[in-house]
Amino acid sequence: GSTEVYGIIGNPVRHSRSPAMHNAAFAACGLNKVYVPLPALDGAAAVAAIRTLGIAGASVTIPHKETVIEQLDKVDPVAARIGAVNTIVRRGDELHGANTDWLGANQALGEALELAGAKVLLLGAGGSARAIGFGLREAGAKVILASRTPERGQELAQQLDCPWVPLEQAAEQAANALVNATSVGMAPLAEQSPLPAAALAAFPVVMDIVYSPLQTRLLREAEAAGCHCIDGLAMLLYQGAAQFTMWTNQEAPLAIMRQTLLENL
Ligand code: NDP
């Protein structure tokens, strides 16, 4: 049969690791599929192009995760609540939207603790904190949100039906897990940590979603404090694996995908 085309729509997409990861996965499974960057200034036009060209599925990244929603025939309920779609799946003549960021985060964190009933301190109120927060609520975890800008944080906390604290007070909290979804720790903030080292022993599990660098100051200090640490590769890998499964109905080849991500970080 003919090659099926997948891709990533966003602006910019030149530096995305997704093509390398998904092409390696398709090849490892012997699938006649390719995954290409699809730079797009206009999200709605990009979805129309996916329809017209018969593209079999796509990832969606910044700045189109929100705007594509109204162009799709169906959107998964959690993605709709988050208000962001990062995955488009063709089902016959229809295009369906999903969000695998929360699935990836839950899988990464869920390997270290039972999410149902767990108390999780979530740092940040941006796009990824939003997806992770709704995902944690979906899994039955109790969330405490801590972030820098009060209005933005309080608005998200209200939607998540959870308490909000200013980031400076996050160090006074204790929880079963701590998740950093701020960009603190990522270059150019690579020398910074969102929480003082002395506060980390109050969190048995610490996940940092920053992946550039992978070994953040937060994770180095959490390791020293005896916490179970999860780096940003886990969420990145598992959100991609969930996409692979939605597109192929097959289990994702995790080892090859992980290795490809590592080689391309
Ligand atoms: P956003 O820009 O949407 O949100 C950034 C958040 O970080 C905001 O809450 C912002 O605070 C906070 N922040 C930024 N600088 C500071 C600072 N100096 N002090 C305190 N808080 C700060 O980004 P995203 O949510 O898209 O991404 C966040 C991080 O997660 C990035 O490093 C990104 O690379 C990483 N990421 C990892 C993924 C993975 O799969 N591993 C997936 C997606 C993202 P405020 O609330 O005040 O605006």
CATH homologous superfamily for 103-230?
NAD(P)-binding Rossmann-like Domain (3.40.50.720)
Res. 256: pLDDT tops 90: yes
Q: What is the pLDDT of residue 1?
A: 77
Task: Please name every residue paired with 178 in a beta bridge, in sequence order, or none if there are none.
Answer: 121, 206
Ligand 1 centroid–CA 189 distance in Å is: 11
CATH, domain 4-99+234-264, list 3.30.479.30, 3.40.630.10, 2.30.110.10, 3.40.50.10860: 3.40.50.10860
Q: Is the Cβ atom of 169 under 6 angstroms away from ligand 1?
A: no
Interface ipTM: 0.99
- What are the start and end residues of each CATH 3.40.50.720 domain in the chain? 103-230
What is the secondary structure of 169-183 as a DSSP string? GGGG---SEEEE-SS
- What are the start and end residues of each CATH 3.40.50.10860 domain in the chain? 4-99+234-264
Q: Is the Cβ atom of 195 under 6 angstroms away from ligand 1?
A: no
**Ligand 1 pocket, mutate which of 179, 183, 218, 219 (most atoms under 8 A from CB):** 183
Where in the sequence numbering do the catalytic residues fall? 65
User: Do residues 227 and 216 lie in contact, with contact meaning Cβ atoms separated by under 8 Å?
Assistant: no
pLDDT tens by residue, 67-123: 999 999 999 999 999 999 999 999 999 999 999 999 999 999 999 999 999 999 999
Q: What is the pLDDT of residue 250?
A: 97
Helix (H) or strand (E) holding 153, with range, is helix 150-160
